[in-house]
A and B are shown apart, each in its own frame.
Chain A
Amino acid sequence: MIALLNEWFIAPFDYGFMRRAFVAGIALSLAAPPLGVFLVLRGMSLIGDAMAHAILPGVALGFLLAGFSLPAMSLGGILSGLVVAGLAGGVSQMSGQREDAAMASFFLISLAAGVMLVSLGGSSVDLTHVLFGSILAVNSSALVLIAAISSLIVVCLAWMFRAMVVECLDPLFLRGQGNRNGLIHGLFLALVVLNLTAGFQTLGTLMAVGLMMLPATAARFWSKRLEGLMAIAVVWAMLASTGGLLLSYHLSMPSGPSIIMLAGIGYIASALFGRHHSLMAKLRRRATPLEASEAG
């Protein structure tokens, strides 16, 4: 029994690349799901996807200028993500157009620029790498970068937690309090960009969104409290990234997609069997009797 467990769960981590991939997955799982929870609550679930495309030209530019160097690509990604978020925010403030429309326009421009840059500079293999990542190729310096970025995200999120909650709930109230409305929103988008750049090395720009959104959307079926949502999402992201890693090792599947598939299976299962609003909960039709709820 112990031998089997060892073979399945421990032995894979004899390899350095598996250990680094594991730690990278855990680090990302701490930072991404809380951001995803806020995105879901703000009705901005697709903004993560848009931002993932927006960081592509920066990554490609970093790749063209400095070769396959993670710091250069990350820096480029962060910059282009921030530029797109800033432009979208600016245009929607100026013209009164809804922000998602401006965001959609700019991320498409950005995506086209990114694909063009990648194909100018390299083969399609590089493009696949940028789009889908390879968690198994994370080296030590990449790991430090990922851990540092996700730590920064976690600390920032803790710092602005109450402001985020108030802004989500009632932006007018926060604006009435003399806070510049855009500040918290902008900071939040910046954190999303940071998180996606931390994730693109391991999961790729597209898959990085999955670790952010899927645990958060799944958690909505299990908890009605913000703290509960975040805790469930983080735990589920950790399980999915570790499990996906082991699956890809044993069944020799690509690592990024197997992590996201695992998180996605969790979402579908939650939608079917979760505690709140799921299919099961709809069919259950049970409620606490009046006396009991009055007493409680």
Chain B
Amino acid sequence: MAAIIGDHFHAESGVAFQSTCYVITFLSFTRDASWHTVTTIGPRAVPLFTDVAGRRPPPAAGRGAAGRAVAGGLLGRGLVVLMSRLRLNDLQLAQGGRTVLEHVSGSFEDGAITALIGANGAGKSTLIQAIMGELAPIKGRVECDVPKERRAWLPQQLALDLTFPMSVEELIMTGTWPSHGALKGYCGPHYRQARKVMARLGISQLAHRPLGELSGGQRQRALLGRTLMQEAELLLLDEPFANVDLDTVEVLMDVLRDMAAQGTTIIVVLHDLEQLSRLADCVLALAGGHARWSTPEAILERHHGGTQRHHHAPILPLDLPGLSP
């Protein structure tokens, strides 16, 4: 019977070509699919925050109390701090013809975590869009020395398609896009790095779980994992701790602090005083279409008259120093 089939079909054009192409395609499909089998090859460890070539981001600028003083003091007057890869220059931003922010100037210190605070509609997301280059300013400029592929953005309600058939590990591996693009194959060190990232975020046991079955906190961890994999040098987070349990908040804060210590510039939208006091090095407050630089201490003092720890309390934007109408 096989002979009959062979007689019938071997002469027809296209079959050989077609099957060759199919083999190529299949290999290419499975190359991305069989990550977990490759991960186990070879014991050599790769440090978490370096890429395969061993390149590290530049070291952090002055941090701690001195760094905060510099950032708070100089930035407050709109002066340019030397170690800054992200500067705003008299920015005017609009959404659909309505000006949202005006005269926003200043610079974000390398390796510092800046909290972006303000009421809903104050323009936090608009400013983030402008920094990511998604929204062209009406006036002024965003000067960013970080290459586009090293900027990462964790949007608020994520535009992530949760029905998409993809596992957590596969999501984290897409963070290799800057170095790999669409074509280059992944190799051992990358799988091991993905493993380390997942272990760091406490989601190792979820590696092969489909994205659709994750909880809000697990999803947030996985997304931060992608930015770790991406070795982001500028990271913008829009309310990363919303709808997330306390354990996850601890892990996420820890990882963010580590990233900042490695020199990553981090801008995070916050609504919670306690998180602000624990995470932020400086504060950019938005209200009434204007922006004002401040320090976490000043904000806390304004709210409670002291810098001691407080339980979760909302930040009252109209109470912000210098922003009262």
Interface of A toward B, CB cutoff 8 Å = 2, 5-6, 10, 13-14, 19-20, 22-23, 26-27, 30, 41, 43, 140, 143-144, 146-148, 150-151, 154-155, 157-163, 165-166, 168-178, 223-230, 294
Contact = CB atoms under 8 A, between A and B. Distances in A.
Contacts of B153: 172-173, 176
Interface string B160-196: 1101111000010010011000110000000000000
Given A23-B9, A173-B153, A176-B132, 19 more contacts: A5-B1, A10-B5, A13-B8, A23-B13, A26-B15, A41-B161, A41-B163, A147-B14, A148-B14, A151-B17, A151-B21, A154-B22, A159-B28, A163-B182, A169-B164, A169-B174, A177-B178, A225-B33, A294-B205
A27 B1 CA distance: 23
B159 A171 contact: yes
B99 interface: no
A160 B29 CA distance: 10
B215 interface: no
B1 A144 contact: no
Contacts of A158: 24-25, 28-29
Nearest to B160: A170
B12 A143 contact: yes
B30 interface: yes
A273 B17 CA distance: 36
Interface stretch (B81-89, B144-152, B265-273): B144-152
B87 to A, nearest CB: 20
B4 interface: yes
Contacts of B178: 177
B166 to A, nearest CB: 6
Contacts of B258: none
B305 to A, nearest CB: 41
Contacts of B226: 173
Contacts of B22: 30, 154
Contacts of A6: 1, 4
A178 B8 contact: no
A84 B30 CA distance: 34
A162 B161 CA distance: 16
Nearest to B96: A96
Contacts of A161: 28-29, 32, 182
Given A144-B14, A147-B18, A225-B165, A19 B8 contact: yes
Top 9 nearest A-B pairs (CB, nearest first) are A147-B14, A178-B148, A163-B182, A158-B28, A158-B25, A151-B21, A154-B21, A227-B33, A23-B12
